[in-house]
Chains A and B, each alone.
Chain A
Amino acid sequence: MAANGMDVAIVGVGLHPFGRFPGVSAIEMGAIAVQRALADAGIEWRDVQFAFAGSYEVDNPDAVVALLGLTGIPFTDVYNGCATASSALTLAANTIRLGEHDLGVAVGMDKHLPGAFSADPQQYACPSWYGELGHFVTTKFFGMKINKYMHDNGITQDTLARVAAKGYRNGARNPNAFRRKPLSEEEILASPMLNYPLTQYMFCSPDEGAAAVVLCKAEHARRYTSTPIYLCASTVRTRRLGAFEVHSPWLPIEEAPSPTVDASRAAYEQAGIGPEDVDVVQLQDTDAGAEVIHLAENGFCADGEQEALVADGALEIDGRLPVNTDGGLIANGEPIGASGLRQVHEVVLQLRGQAGDRQVPGTPRVGYTQLYGAPGTAGVSILSR
């Protein structure tokens, strides 16, 4: 076997619901996600040969072993901005590809306070005055990028509201989602303006949750499951000079595509397929505008075609190109370390036909996930039955 990139399989997935859980620590959520992934794969923690863990808030998420078992395995912590979970997944897959181990776990967990993310600008190679002036705000970047994109490509604010409404509608069908109440386009447009053209309900919220996957060498997959899902590609890329990125006090005249474009192209090449082969998609929708832009950046349409795709219902669960079937970040929020593994969890359920009320009809064969965020880092994975 081992056609293009078919050398690693996902044989177990587990999730701690996303939302707010007073009194439950990120580590406890991480342990629950791992235990569910292990049960899904029919294995015990003592069978696991290595692990990677991603978190923003927890310095050492490998402390989850206190609740799982202190087995002495190599267990490496990663943090890579909003692409943390992609990074954990990619490193875990590569560990298997290198032949170092055959069976491992990637887990992500986080527990954020409410409100926009903040940090010391100097840790992002920005001057302190940039923060003092109020420029060091991620939501403002997203507002600026979609405002320019809408102007250049004829996208309307109504389309943003429709995309957000889809997120809440899909979230209502997902028992693990943070936001489970459908919101109308009118309610979304009438919520407070945060960064024009983005209103409050067009944004996701930082929240809490955990997700985990069990990966193994593809040729062993059927020891654990009758429905292995192959990880055909998993890539991480960072911004090039000229990309329009968050936290940029200046930009050069020359322009370059976003790191998402680079991560996406590399992933298609690794998998040996193209966007036309993808049946179910999870995109980083930090805000509704990001989903619109990411549709084009990942090759699913040309710039500007989103207006018609959204109006025609193509992105709905029963549409031609179902996007963010579990409600995406808009309905699930963003516990940074876990977010990308939540996307993988959803795609695995969809490809197995186990997504319940939100199952994509027919038999989806190929799924796609994409993460993007500060300071200009993107991760893409492609999975297939």
Chain B
Amino acid sequence: MTTVPVDEGIFTWPAAEPQLIGSRCEACGIVTFPSQSSCPRCASTAMAKHLLPRHGRLWAWTTQEFPPPSPPYAGPTGADFEPFVIGYVVLGDQIKIETRLVDVTPSDLSPGMEMELAVVPFRTDDGGNEIMTFAFRPVA
């Protein structure tokens, strides 16, 4: 089976220690994810590629207990759907990232919990490729 990322250019992979690929405004310093061509704070177009920290702390979360409307959702539906946990993780003093949270039980989550980036299987496409996505999981 071939493994492919859900999109090119959003995380470094394959890599022993993958990182999310964002951008940083060279004028005001704001960090975005994914990368974008102009700055949402100061409108500068001087945006440089910026790799994000791999560790962060949990900021907010909820559960997704029903299959999201398809399209755009492309993951398993019907009997194959499994509820998942989703939240925001604060990466240092740079940015908050919205992400799936894996290897967690919702009742165990608490704000400020330390999390780390993981690249995990998301779905298998019609061609038999395993589509990989970024996620965060608690630091063991």
Contact surface of A with B, Cβ cutoff 8 Å: 115-118, 120-121, 127-137, 140, 143-145, 147-148, 151, 192-198, 241, 244, 248-253
Q: Do residues A151 and B65 form an inter-chain contact, with CB atoms below 8 A?
A: no
A38 to B84, CA, bound (A): 50
Task: Establish whether residues B87 and A195, one from each chain, have CB atoms under 8 Å apart when the complex forms.
Answer: no
Cα–Cα, bound, A251→B33 (Å): 9
Which of A115, A121, A127, A195 lies in contact with B63, CB distance below 8 A? A195
Which residue of A is nearest B96, CB measured?
A251
Q: How large is the interface on B (under 10, 10 to 19, 20 to 34, 35 or more residues)?
A: 35 or more
Q: Are B60 and A253 in contact (CB under 8 A)?
A: no
Closest to B42 in A: A241
Interface contact tally, CB-CB below 8 A: 118
A133-B75, A144-B86, A241-B41 given; A195·B98 CB < 8 A? no
Are A250 and B95 touching (Cβ within 8 A)? yes
Establish whether residues A131 and B73, one from each chain, have CB atoms under 8 Å apart when the complex forms: yes
Docked complex Cα distance between A251 and B65 (Å): 24
**Cβ–Cβ < 8 Å partners of B86 in chain A:** 135, 140, 144
**Docked CA distance A145–B111 (Å):** 13
Which residue, B74, B87, B98, has most C-beta atoms of chain A within 10 A? B98
Q: Residues of B contacting A115 with CB < 8 Å?
A: 69
Question: By the criterion CB–CB under 8 Å, are A128 and B72 in contact?
Answer: yes
Closest to A131 in B: B72
Cβ A250 vs Cβ B75 within 8 A: no
A134 B63 Cβ-Cβ under 8 A = no
| A253 in contact with B64 (CB, 8 Å) | no
Closest to B123 in A: A132
Given known contacts A137-B68, A241-B40, A252-B41, A128 and B96 CB-to-CB distance under 8 angstroms: no
B60 x A147 contact (CB < 8 A):
yes
Chain B residue at smallest Cβ distance from A137: B68
Interface set of B (CB-CB < 8 Å, partner A): 6-7, 10, 22, 30-34, 40-41, 59-69, 71-75, 84, 86-88, 90, 93-98, 100, 106, 111, 122, 133
Q: Which of A130, A132, A193 has most B Cβ within 10 Å? A: A132
How many Å lie between the Cα of A116 and that of B88 in the bound state? 22
CB contacts (< 8 Å) of B59 on chain A: these are 148
Q: For the complex, give the distance between the alpha carbons of A115 and B74 in Å.
A: 17
Distance (Å) between the CB of B120 and the closest chain A CB? 11
Q: Report the separation of the CA atoms of residues A196 and B107 in the bound assembly, to the nearest whole angstrom.
A: 10
Q: Contact at A253–B93, with CB atoms within 8 Å?
A: yes
Q: Closest approach, in angstroms, between the C-beta of B66 and any C-beta of chain A?
A: 6
- Pair B73/A132 contact, Cβ less than 8 Å: yes
Nearest CB in chain A to that of B99: its residue: A135
Q: Which residues from A are CB-within-8-Å of B133?
A: 129, 133
Contact, CB under 8 Å: A133 / B100: yes
Q: Are A193 and B65 within 8 A (Cβ)?
A: yes
Residue contact B62 to A140, C-beta cutoff 8 Å:
yes
Cα–Cα distance between A134 and B60 once the two chains are bound (Å): 17
A143 and B96: CB pair below 8 A? Answer: no
Contact: A253 with B94, CB < 8 Å? Answer: yes
B57 to chain A minimum Cβ distance, whole angstroms, is 12
Q: Are A133 and B122 in contact (CB under 8 A)?
A: yes
Q: What 9 pairs across the A-B complex have the smallest Cβ distances? A: A131-B72, A143-B62, A118-B69, A148-B60, A134-B68, A251-B96, A250-B33, A129-B7, A144-B62
A-B contact pairs, 13 of them (CB 8 A): A120-B72, A137-B64, A143-B62, A147-B60, A148-B111, A192-B65, A192-B66, A197-B62, A241-B40, A250-B96, A252-B31, A253-B90, A253-B93
Name the CB-closest residue of A to B8. Answer: A129
Residues of chain A with a CB closer than 8 A to B122's CB:
133
Q: Residue B60 contacts which of A135, A144, A249 (CB distance < 8 angstroms)?
A: A144
Q: Which residue of B lies closest to A119 (CB)?
A: B72
A128: shortest Cβ distance to chain B, in Å?
7
Q: Provided the pairs A118-B69, A196-B106 are in contact, do residues A129 and B10 lie with their beta carbons within 8 angstroms?
A: yes
Contacts of A133 in B (CB 8 A): 6, 73-75, 100, 122, 133
Other A-B pairs, 14, CB within 8 Å; known A192-B65, A193-B65 = A118-B68, A118-B69, A136-B73, A140-B62, A143-B62, A144-B86, A147-B62, A148-B59, A244-B60, A251-B88, A251-B95, A251-B96, A252-B95, A253-B93
